[in-house]
A and B are shown apart, each in its own frame.
Chain A
Amino acid sequence: MDASTRTKSRSKKPQYSRFTQQELPAWKPILTPKWIITSFVIIAILFTPTGLLCLWASERVVEIIDRYDDDCLPDSYSTDPDSFIQSNNTNKTCVRTLKVPRKMSAPIFIYYQLDNFYQNHRRYVKSRSDKQLRDPDEADETEDCKPINGNDDGPIVPCGLVAWSLFNDTYKFFKGNKAIDIDKKDIAWESDKKYKFGSNVYPKNFQKWELIGGGALDESKPLSEQEDLIVWMKTAALPTFRKLYGKINTDLEANETITVVIQNNYNTYVFGGEKKVALSTANWIGGKNDFFGISFLTIGGVCFFVAINFILLYVLKPRPLGDPSYLSWNRNQGAQ
């Protein structure tokens, strides 16, 4: 009895292990001045060239941007752009000339850029049916698309505000009189084409409703081939955004003049948005992005500055590491 209770109570003794005794071997780094200076200098050394590299890459990108929404509005309609854009009878063709500042080598990407267009508005973003886009059997899944969901004729495919407001300005590029081919293939993400937009889903009832929003779709082509739609359906994060329109697969030489023939269909006048067409090359950093390089340089510079300051202060007021005179009880004594 006694022995059993003793073994029982002995089992209450905590087992020794480095874990339970909180004595696991540990790395206890200390921010010594050496470490501080090294780390700041390393960041500075790492960031400055990276910044320069990014700036250089950004510098190599050639970009032409042309805002045309105002200029493509005939003067006679300048007070009432709405009636111009909404009328079916007005001539919406508009010709712009662009000058190539530096040599642009293929591929040259063509973008349209909209401003003050809330593609990220919650009501707008939600107004789509991904199921319907993928599978012809789920064409009736239009609950989220109201009010652009369909009527007695059947559901709209693709339904919802996003598809409905499809951008429908068109661009044609000419070098002199010779048209430049615009490659509209592969402007959308591969995964979208393959998995999100069905190759057997065809537009139905689209833009046939009383209210017509943006562009129409070719009902003979499956959605997976409607790359303009696919690009448009990838909603942008900010109210100012650019979307890929196509690619030019020939080089453009410096100082060449290019004519753009625009069909100015899309209504941005009513909400005061701008429309731009942009031609840009791209390299590993993407499009033109000076800010990125500058940020790197700034951080590098700040680190360098901090390091210098630290060294100066440290020279002026060095503190030997582990100097016990800095312990609070010693300092208080000094104060007394």
Chain B
Amino acid sequence: MAGGRIRARLKRSSLYTFGCIRPPPRESIDEPRQFQGPGFSRHVCCNQPGFHRKKPLKYCTNYISTTKYNVITFLPKALFEQFRRVANLYFLLAAALSLTPVSPFSPYSMIAPLIFVVGLSMAKEAVENWHRFMQDMKVNMRKVLVHSGDGVFVRKPWMKLEVGDVVKVEKDEFFPADLLFLSSSYEDGICYVETMNLDGETNLKVKRSLEVTLPLDDDASFKDFKATIKCEDPNPNLYTFVGNFEYDRQTYPLDPSQILLRDSKLRNTGHVYGVVIFSGHDSKVMQNATKPPSKRSTIEKQMDKIIYVLFTLLVLISLISSIGFAVKTKYQMPNWWYIPADDQGLYDPNKPSLSGFSHLITALILYGYLIPISLYVSIELVKVLQALFINQDIHMYDEETCTPAQARTSNLNEELGMVDTILSDKTGTLTCNQMDFLKCSIAGIPYGTRSSEVELAAASQMAMDLDESSRIGARSGPEIELEVVPKGVSCQNRIKGFSFEDNRLMNGNWVQEPNKDVILLFFRILALCHTAIPELNEETGMYNYEAESPDEGAFLVAAREFGFEYCKRTQSSIFVRERHIPSQEPIEREFKLLNILDFTSKRKRMSVIVQDETGQILLLCKGADSIIFDRLSKNGRLYEEATKKHLNEYAEAGLRTLAFAYRKLDISEYSSWNGEFSKAKTSIGGERDTMLEHLSDIMEKDLILVGATAVEDKLQQGVPQCIDKLAQAGLKLWVLTGDKMETAINIGFACSLLRQGMKQIRITTNVDHTSNMGIKENILMQITNASRMINLEKDPHAAFALIIDGKALTYALEDDLKHQFLDLAIECASVICCRVSPKQKALVTRLVKEGTGKTTLAIGDGANDVGMIQEADIGVGISGVEGMQAVMASDFAIAQFRFLERLLVVHGHWCYKRIAQMICYFFYKNIAFGLTLFYFEAFTGFSGQSVYDDWYMLLFNVVLTSLPVISLGVFEQDVSSEICLQFPALYQQGPRNLFFDWYRIFGWMGNGLYCSLIVFFLNIIIFYDQAFRSNGQTADMAVVGTVMFTCVIYSVNCQIALTMSHFTWIQHFLIGSSIITWYIFLILYGMLSPSLSGNVYQIFLEALSPAPIYWLSTLLVTVACNLPYLAHISFQRSFNPMDHHVIQEIKYYKKDVEDRHMWRREKSKARQDTKIGFSARVDAKIRHHLKFKLQKKSSPRAVSEPTPS
């Protein structure tokens, strides 16, 4: 706390040159704004929440809810959702009609399965809704200090907050609602806010309270605080705010810099006081939240089409039946004396059309077995179980944040296996937003021995490939696993922000280096050229730094480690404890801080002007290398060449670089400049900034180069490897970031999305304004030029990268340009969009989704990614970080980007195949069963009589055939998870949709048709008219029905056994028990009293089981049904195998163990032709080497060729 008070003494505003200066009061705009009427009706009575408990000032509470249903709306809404599915609606109709005499079945056999199926689906909805509710409650129950009267603040949950409440938010807490900023722990009423959750920007924003509320800086002062705010109504615009603050009978205007938005975070500030203006759903971030769109997977959409096909078939055969029935009734029934006409018109030869029509309804119900009633519910059940497996996957559990993966909606599991393009956020997703000082180049000498992650990854890949090529032809003896390349990372004594390792500089050894003066200067620049504030950590006695950007923090940590500990800052000085030799006591040196020339994205540099203890005035400057190199003096270019070389190396290693330079100033030169500068600083009006910039420009010239730094923008663990694998699996990766283009390109290198030798196409709006061409035409020209360049490219290995900034993107996303832009982007191996707004992220996602028609996946961690996550086919949120918006909007939440590989390549692949096979099988089995009913109709004069007992049919979908297919959908694995990861090329089976194309679907339907024909006709002929037992009885309808049903049960269950390739005890048990259940049911049902069992009474024990023909025909029909499929898969597998077949065989014969060389070779080959990822980088390097060698070899040959023979 002591540190906080010290800092409070310090007026931060005076630290900053021009970024933070409070503009002098301008009378003209201090006039309170006059507004009234619609849109500006909000009236907040500060510190008097009581006024907001009744109308008209009653605003919504701070309770937020993202649930779909509540207790009351659940039943009607969920029912409505259920019956929006056309199949369920059909079954509802059928169930209703089953109460009328036209129904071929008893009502219970129609209603019971419907209730079961709909009930199960609704139960699932209820559970999911409950989870959502619990998540909301987690947010709602967060605690915040609220003024409860008499200057006492108590902790209350967020949901209890009301408009008008005064809250005290402490450091690193989230704001619970949209607040009016009253005062902070800083005297001048500023505070720092991290808005990453809102817009994804990582730099801190400064908020400034009104001058008039500054005295309200302790708890007690709120005892009698009263004020009124009149402002705009809730709206989703994050960057505007209009309102008036009435206090002490004065009115002050409010603007966005006094507003603290919900879900942003207080940083670098002890605490702030604020008044709740917008609460709960009125807050800007909630206003921004769109309703989560309900997403459906490609397979499910295709499944709907199949259902329509089946409905068509259903209607068709129903029409055939009813026409047949009408004809039979009209022409034949009058002769059937044993069937007199009835009086209801159902069987009336005089009214054949009426009879035919009523029969149409009967038939539509009867053949309903073509539509699998349990399909939806089975799929839902399977998906829930699959999701459970995803949640339980220990390999996707992040130890650091203790977060497991989470499938938040289960209905997109199989879509994970079909992804084509990944759109990724950068900060927080690919990178940790943490900088590590890794290398530096001082006076032309590179320091820092540790490799960046990119280098390590590429090196290990290189080692493997070289090892591979050298091994060809070599004996396959016992081999050493070379995949584990020793990593230079020693995890002990890691200091956050500092990964530098080089003994030449550490522990004071630098004094022995030849250029120790330059090194000293370098370290001083590190320690002095910044705007950070130190904070003593009392536990460790070390200083922590609160810097605006993580780079700066890394520099200060590095300086500290080198022995230049920045320890204190006053209004005019910076204190550094220098310790040139470790044994020495540190000397505290004071540097007079004369000026700070601030960093802006336009200047790309910052400088400080300091005076050291000897009175020497120095300008210390750090900035982007290109900028610094332009400003070097003639004699300052001593190390330019060497440094440039190092900078290139660093960039290739994916590091962020800055160049350091200095300039010695004469006192006279400085004071004349300073006079102008101070004048400019206090000037008023729009000229001010330009003037300041101009003056800085004058000062920052004739610099002398000292060196350069390389900072690693710490990637999330395993990101390069994951990107490489995903690229090998054939996935495309787009990076959409709010960051600057340079940063984005650096990360592109770090992630191996970019590499040297890749042609970068940059589309920007940085046009010289002299040309009178419109910006849009310019962008169009850039796009067409780039496309032409790609088309003209001959080298098949050439790779292009598209880098586009946000402004250019606004134009590129317009309707007339977007297709050209998309075409160009598709041609490029990697696409990086920088400086994009959340809205643009969503628009780009939509463009890719709709433009390519392929499945897109968006991954991000912040609120700025919500739009993109919701827009993409699959949204993945990074969980375990503080903000929840991305996770709340996502379909899947994982803790680390690297888990995406497992999520897609393992779970996606499995789920896709499982669901695809499961649906195919479902249609097969229902066609096989349903059509037998139709054939039988033709033999009953189309009267609508079913050959099966009602109970058989009821149990068919729900009990007798459902569990094995669920086990297929949950447990099937074509290859194990390791193989999925080792052979990423297998993933392409999903995006190519090899398992759910129409060819395959119709194949399965054809199989079902064949099966129904075999089951029906074989049995009908076998049990035609003769006795079926030795004691002479002939088969009646119940016998024929039971035999046929037995055959159906056997056939479909054997079929699923043939379909599966992975049998655990569960599959064995479920398939076996399905068949056994049928017999048990038959025996038990037959033992019920005849009033319940009817014709089936005692049928199995008395009539069927003693008859050998019953058992033999079961065998015959089952074999006959499955024979074509067996032959098909036999031939296909043996002569035209798919990849997973071959891999299964290799595994089965343990060839991977015997011939490890082959196994590794295949593993490395099993990838898509990729142009990104470090594998591509290594390939490019190898190609480069080969070309070089070839040129060497071929040149002498070229000479020898023309010699006459």
Contacts and interface: CB of A to CB of B under 8 A. Distances in A.
A234 interface: yes
A237 B1158 CA distance: 62
B600 interface: no
A176 B17 CA distance: 135
A2 interface: no
Interface in B1072-1093: 1089-1091
A110 to B, nearest CB: 9
Interface string B846-887: 000000000000000000000000000000000000000000
Contacts of A317: 1135
A211 B202 CA distance: 95
A283 interface: yes
B96 interface: no
A257 interface: no
A33 B1037 contact: no
B1030 A125 contact: no
B393 interface: yes
Interface in B402-449: 402-404
Given A196-B1090, A329-B985, A25 B1021 contact: no
A50 B1112 contact: yes
Interface in B1151-1170: 1151, 1158, 1161-1162, 1165-1167
Interface in A255-298: 267, 270-272, 280, 282-289, 291-292, 295-296
Interface stretch (A67-75, A91-99, A320-328): A320-328
B1149 A125 contact: no
A237 to B, nearest CB: 4
Contacts of B1146: 322, 324
Contact of A125 (B945, B1031, B1033, B1135): B945
Nearest to B1040: A237
Interface in B1104-1151: 1107-1109, 1112-1113, 1116, 1119-1120, 1123, 1126-1127, 1129-1131, 1133-1135, 1137-1139, 1142-1149, 1151
B1112 A54 contact: yes
Interface stretch (B125-133, B158-166, B1095-1103): B1095-1103
Interface in A236-255: 236-244, 247
Contacts of A190: 1102
B971 A22 contact: yes
Contact of B392 (A14, A113, A328): A14
A322 B1142 contact: yes
B395 to A, nearest CB: 8
Given A122-B943, A235-B1037, A237-B1036, A31 B1129 contact: yes
A36 B977 CA distance: 27
A242 B1025 contact: yes
B940 interface: yes
Interface residues on A, range: 35 or more
Nearest to A165: B338
B1035 A237 contact: yes
Interface in A303-332: 303, 306, 310, 313-314, 317, 319, 321-324, 326-330
B154 interface: no
A12 interface: yes
Given A240-B1024, A288-B1026, A26 B1063 contact: yes
Given A24-B1065, A134-B1091, A283 B1030 contact: yes
B394 interface: yes
Q: Determine the main DSSP class of B at the interface with A.
A: helix
Interface string A10-31: 1011111000111111111111
B50 interface: no
Nearest to B1107: A286
B993 to A, nearest CB: 15
Contacts of B171: none
A191 interface: yes
Nearest to A161: B338
B234 interface: no
Interface string B613-631: 0000000000000000000
A327 to B, nearest CB: 5
Contacts of B999: none
Nearest to B1106: A284
Nearest to A15: B392
Given A280-B1026, A322-B1145, A111 B1166 contact: no
Nearest to A146: B342
Interface residues on B, range: 35 or more
Contacts of A283: 1030
A189 interface: yes
A236 B1037 contact: yes
Contacts of A242: 1025-1026, 1034
A123 interface: yes
Contacts of A327: 1139, 1142-1143, 1162, 1165-1166
A272 B1139 CA distance: 62
B1063 A27 contact: yes
B402 A10 contact: yes
Contacts of B940: 118, 120-122, 239
Given A13-B397, A237-B947, A286-B1028, A195 B1097 contact: yes
Given A120-B945, A237-B947, A296-B1116, A286 B335 contact: no
Contacts of A47: 1116, 1119
A32 interface: yes
Interface string B1018-1060: 1011111111111111111111110000000000000000000
Contacts, number: 290
Interface in B963-1018: 971, 973, 976-977, 985, 1018
A169 interface: no
A213 interface: yes
A284 B1108 contact: yes
Contacts of B391: 14
B1134 A189 contact: no
A47 B1166 CA distance: 44
A326 B1137 contact: yes
A24 B1066 contact: yes
A330 B1035 CA distance: 59
A305 to B, nearest CB: 10
A158 to B, nearest CB: 15
Contact of A189 (B402, B944, B1040, B1103): B1103
A302 to B, nearest CB: 7
Contacts of A244: 1027, 1032-1034
B340 interface: yes
A174 interface: no
Given A236-B1035, A296-B1116, 19 more contacts: A16-B394, A24-B1064, A118-B943, A123-B339, A130-B1094, A147-B340, A189-B1033, A191-B1090, A195-B1090, A195-B1097, A238-B939, A239-B941, A242-B1025, A243-B1034, A285-B1108, A286-B1027, A299-B1120, A322-B1147, A327-B1162
13 contacts: A6-B402, A12-B404, A23-B976, A63-B1026, A120-B939, A122-B940, A189-B1098, A195-B1098, A240-B1024, A244-B1027, A303-B1123, A310-B1131, A313-B1131
5 closest cross-chain pairs (CB), A and B: A287-B1026, A322-B1145, A165-B338, A9-B402, A109-B1032
Interface of B: 104, 332, 335-340, 342, 346-347, 388-389, 391-394, 397, 399, 402-404, 936, 939-941, 943-945, 947, 971, 973, 976-977, 985, 1018, 1020-1041, 1061-1066, 1068, 1089-1091, 1094-1095, 1097-1098, 1102-1103, 1107-1109, 1112-1113, 1116, 1119-1120, 1123, 1126-1127, 1129-1131, 1133-1135, 1137-1139, 1142-1149, 1151, 1158, 1161-1162, 1165-1167
Interface of A: 6, 9-10, 12-16, 20-33, 36, 39-40, 43, 47, 50, 54, 63, 107, 109, 111, 113, 117-118, 120-125, 130-131, 134, 146-147, 161, 164-165, 187, 189-191, 195-196, 213-214, 234-244, 247, 267, 270-272, 280, 282-289, 291-292, 295-296, 299, 302-303, 306, 310, 313-314, 317, 319, 321-324, 326-330
